[in-house]
Each structure stands twice: as C-alpha cells, then as structure tokens.
Structure 1
C-alpha cells in the first residue's frame, strides 16, 4: 500500500515540544534530518512503511 504525504505530530527529543511534520509515505524506508521548528536543533527521523501503516521514530542527531 502506498501512503501519500501525511501530517504527523511528534515530540522533539531535545526540547520536548510537540511539532507537526509532513512525512512522505511513498518510500518504504527512509532516514533524514529536519530542524525542530521550536528549538532549531536537528532531529533524526526514521520512517518505515509496511502493509499495516507508517511508523515514525525521532531521535537526537547523534543517537
């Protein structure tokens, strides 16, 4: 199943603020870095897509 762009809310691993991000679900497995819109620190996003859904994990840049 292909998932289009989806909006997700995640917690910043640095400042703890809840932020809204848009995830591209058309790629089965991806990892990228995006700055937190509140504290501007780099968040690593790991995205996995399978037949049951889209999963997003966030972590510090160097974890």
Structure 2
C-alpha cells in the first residue's frame, strides 16, 4: 500500500512553488525528475526519509540536459 505525503518544493529555474507527492512506501532514498507546474522545466528531486521519524528531507536541483 502506498502512503503519499505532500511535500512543497521551489523550482530552481523560475522560483514557483510546487507540490510533490512522495510515496513513503518506495524506500528511504528516492530520486526522480519532476516538471515545474509553472514553467515546465524539469528538476531533479532527491528525497531522504528518516526511517525512525518518517521526516522527509528534500533537495531540488535543475536537471542537466
């Protein structure tokens, strides 16, 4: 069963606020690309989840093409 947790992130290209839904059942380290809802520029989201507290740490960087 997936457990989705909404996590806000800011686009490194245009500065717009976005919302990612992190699936807590997909492991404590995740990395994927998501497009900004405003400018459609892809960003790489790196997610680390503390297995004891379920606290989510999110790093966002522009995707290198």
* Gapped regions of structure 1 (runs ≥ 5): none
User: TM-score scaled to structure 1, two decimals?
Assistant: 0.83
After superposition, the CA RMSD in angstroms is 1.5
Counting helix residues as a fraction of each chain, which structure ranks higher? 2
- The aligned counterpart of 2:41 is 41
Runs of 4+ in 1 over 2 A off after TM superposition: none
User: TM-score scaled to structure 2, two decimals?
Assistant: 0.81
Task: State how far apart, in whole Å, the 2-side matches of 1:11 and 1:34 are.
Answer: 11
Counting strand residues as a fraction of each chain, which structure ranks higher? 1
Are the counterparts in 2 of residues 25 and 54 from structure 1 also a CA contact under 8 Å?
Answer: no
- The aligned counterpart of 2:29 is 29
Please give the residue correspondences for 1:1-63 in structure 2 after superposition, counting only pairs within 5 Å.
4-26=3-25, 27-50=27-50, 51-52=52-53, 53-62=55-64
